[in-house]
Amino acid sequence: MIVTKPADIMDVLRKLQALDDESRDIRVSRDAMVSSMERLQKVLNHLDRELVDKRDKLTEAETWNRTKTAELEAEREKLAKAKAKLSGVTRSKEYVAVNKELETVRKTITQREDEIKNLDTAVNEFRDAIAREEQKVQDLRSQAAAEERSNRERLAVMDARIAEVDLRRKAITSRLDNSIVNRYARIAQARGGVAVVRVLDSACKGCNMILQPRFVENILRASSIVMCPHCSRYLYAETTHEPDGSVAAL
Ligand SMILES: [Zn+2]
Ligand 1 mean position to 154 CA, how many Å?
A: 36
Residues with CB under 5 Å of ion ligand 1 are 204, 206-207, 228, 230-231
Distance from residue 234's CA to the centre of ligand 1 (Å): 8
DSSP structure class, residue 2: -
Q: Rounded to whole angstroms, how far apart are CA atoms 82 and 75?
A: 10
Q: What is the pLDDT of residue 76?
A: 93
| Boundaries of every domain in the chain | 26-173, 178-249
What distance, in Å, lies between the first and last C-alpha atoms of the chain? 30
The CATH architecture that domain 26-173 belongs to is Orthogonal Bundle (1.10)
102 Cα–ligand 1 center, Å: 98
3-state percent helix, strand, coil for the chain, nearest multiple of 5: 75, 5, 20
153 Cα to the center of ligand 1, angstroms:
40
User: How does pLDDT run across 70-119, given as a tens digit for each residue?
Assistant: 999 999 998 999 888 888 888 888 888 888 989 999 999 999 999 999 99
- The tens digit of pLDDT for each residue in 160-175 reads 999 999 999 999 999 9
Output the CA 166–ligand 1 centroid distance in Å: 27
| pLDDT, mean over the chain | 92
pLDDT above 70: percentage of residues in the chain: 96
Buried b (16+ CB within 10 A) or exposed e, 40-65: beeeeeebeeeeeebeeeeeeeeeeb
pLDDT the model gives residue 82: 86
Closest CA to 172 of 15, 5, 52, 63: 15
pLDDT in tens, 28-70: 999 999 999 999 999 999 999 999 999 999 999 999 999 999 9
Residues facing residue 196 across a β-bridge: 234
Distance 192 CA to ligand 1 centre (A): 13
Cα(5) to ligand 1 centroid in Å equals 23
- 205 CA → ligand 1 middle, Å: 7
The stretch 223-238 carries a mean pLDDT of: 94
Distance between CA atoms of 106 and 115, rounded to whole angstroms? 14
With 80 as the cut, is the pLDDT of residue 145 above it?
yes
How would residue 246 be classed by pLDDT, with cut points 50, 70 and 90?
A: low
